Structure 1
Amino acid sequence: MDNNYFVDSDKLSEAALAKKHKLENDPSSRTDHMAYMEGMERIKSDVMDRVLSEMNGYDPSAYTYADVRAALAHDNCTVEDFKALLSPAAEPFLEKMAEKARLETQKHFGNTVYLFTPLYIANYCENYCVYCGFNCYNDIKRMKLSMEQIEHEMKVIADSGMEEILILTGESRAQSSVEYIGEACKLARKYFRMVGIEIYPVNTEEYRYLHECGVDYVTVFQETYNSDRYEQLHLLGHKRVFPYRFEAQERALMGGMRGIACSALLGLSDFRKDALASALHVYYLQRKYPHAEISLSCPRLRPIINNDEINPLDVHEKQLCQVLCAYRIFLPFCGITVSSRESESFRNGIVKIAATKISAGVSTGIGDHESKYTGKNSETAEGDEQFEINDSRSFSQMYKDMSGEGLQPVLNDYLYV
């Protein structure tokens, strides 16, 4: 494994260092990443097998310029066409792909762009994912907000004009129980019209409970769809179980959620194969749950605390643009989110081509929205960030910039009656 993924461990105890070293260097010390742990729900679904079969059989180098030209000429993009558009052979056609993607976006979404903001309420984590700033072996300042602190953060965000929020936690049931998250979601309903969550995967009935607490949609990143690479990167914790994580979106839909989002973290493995698997995950779920609102995200690796060498060195902006254009051509009705991991200039451009949703006023830390939104010193202690963002524009600045780009910022398009 690439040692650049590993964090500075000087401050860990001797026992923790020994366990960490063994996990990193002795695969036999790790649990089976394909075996469900106690309490994990199993569902009957063929979606994972279908996605992995397509991904494992995909050879990006097998596609030619002729395949790409044919894909761009078709009115309806097939799976084979999509594979061609993700291949290296499509790179010289990026301008044509962008124009086709732009037309599809305008046809189905007009000139709108949706705005939301994330709220991290805890950064405790029980997993050892070697690329994540929250991982249990990283020496960071941990924090969990009380309900009073959560409501204060939400009020600060809502006062800025934001109407959609995404609630996030580290992956720790002990510190961030389903009930704790549910109470936070009930508070969010007082201030926001749309509530999403990005938390550890849970069972169907737990998703049903969270939906009753006010959650509209669930985002889960598979990180990488390459199960072997997944095993190398997720060394400890419930997140290590590959199939349980893969099936999280489907359990959320079974639990009554209105929408879900899928994604790989581009840069962990072969980004072309991960992009194919992400889109096919959406493709098959759309056909199985046609009533659901299903979307894609496209995050790339970002630096984390105690390790500034984590970067998506193999996924440059031009390649990310290719992936996003291919997504739009293959899945014309699908929402596509581009996060603050990307630069201001990239996000300003891609929302006019393929993306339909962007975050604004972003913090990946805990309890710091008052200081960032108002400039006042917050009375709430602050916890460390999950990763470094690249676009720190406020909600008001983002709204102004999107309007200046000729786009119509949308804060909410759904009403409960």
Structure 2
Amino acid sequence: MEATESVSWGITATALVLLMTPGVAFFYGGMVRVKSVISMMMMSFGAIGLIAVLWMLYGYSMSTVGDPAQFAGDPFADFALAGAASSTHANTALLTVAYGATFAIITVALISGAIADRARFGPWLVFVGVFGTLGYFPIAAWVWGGGWITHLGTTLFGKDSGIAVIDYAGGTAVHINAGAAALALALVLGKRIGFRKGIQRPHNVPLTLLGAALLWFGWFGFNVGAQWTTPGMGQAGLITINTLGASAAGILGWILVETIRDGKATSVGAVSGLVAGLVAITPACADLAPGWGLLLGGLAGVACAASVELKYRLGLDDSLDVVGLHLVGGLLGTVYLGFFATGHGLFTGGDGRQLVVQVLASGGVLVYAFAVAWITGTVIEKTIGFRVTQQAEVAGVDRFVHGEQGYALAD
């Protein structure tokens, strides 16, 4: 592929991934109460605004390290991208920054679904800034920027082992990260008033389906996007077919569970299965044969559908199933590679060492992200207060927090 064509695809992929966060806003917005839809969607748009600015100021600098022992890069190494903008390769350097920003944005935005209907917007933005700085930026450096996860295979098994953690597009850095943080915040903010199974139904199912469609569309930029940096885009076809196949199989897996359990397949279940398949294939899209990709998607649909039921038994009010979709799906996709990664998996020509590094990387990100989110959320709740008042929660968050209504049906 010629350089101009590569840059064109890079710009397109960046736009596709950015579109995913408004997709999350629609996906989440349709599933909350009619009196909370503005609040829910604003949490995603607020994350776009703040994380994009922080990434440009210092987040990108933090996402690259020169030594695996470093926690994160120097935030002042290229503050506000002064160096990147004046370099001889500014065109591609700045496009790389922009593409990376979209991943940072959606990772933090995903967390908001766990605290729907009960969070204040100002404290949420404080959380976004702190978690982006201490959570996502360092983890991105660990996974993709030369950090300890990048070098875990050689650290454990030697430079000639050929073993490295596989996470092509964000099973650890995005989904396990967001899912673990969502679990922590759900615990910090506690249950909604009257929490029980069936506490609320989605107020606008078509809005949720629209959000899922935007996510599905954008996910091809998410998974295939980084191929713009690869001569000839050599794996674009494999990544594309795996992304399509796993998401389709995820739909079937989820609605199968629903049909067996409830006797009915739902539209919200179908798009939840779609997302489950997409989450699981994200780390694995470039390293699975298509048949194994289909199996992974189907397993993700089944596993995530089963896991979301556990929150009622455990008393965990993860409002929109961020833990069940992103933590479970991310763990499944990342660990699955230890068994079925082409040439490296335990059952596909490799040995148990790939499984070891996949599990260690997943566990390390999970524990760290949970700890950062729990500490940050607790400090915010104990100081300025994270949760809305009981009055606001009952009456509706939109009017109390934003002074707006999602639907003005009459004067």
- Superposition TM-score, scaled by structure 1 size: 0.29
- Superposition TM-score, scaled by structure 2 size: 0.29
Answer 1 or 2: which has greater helix percent: 2
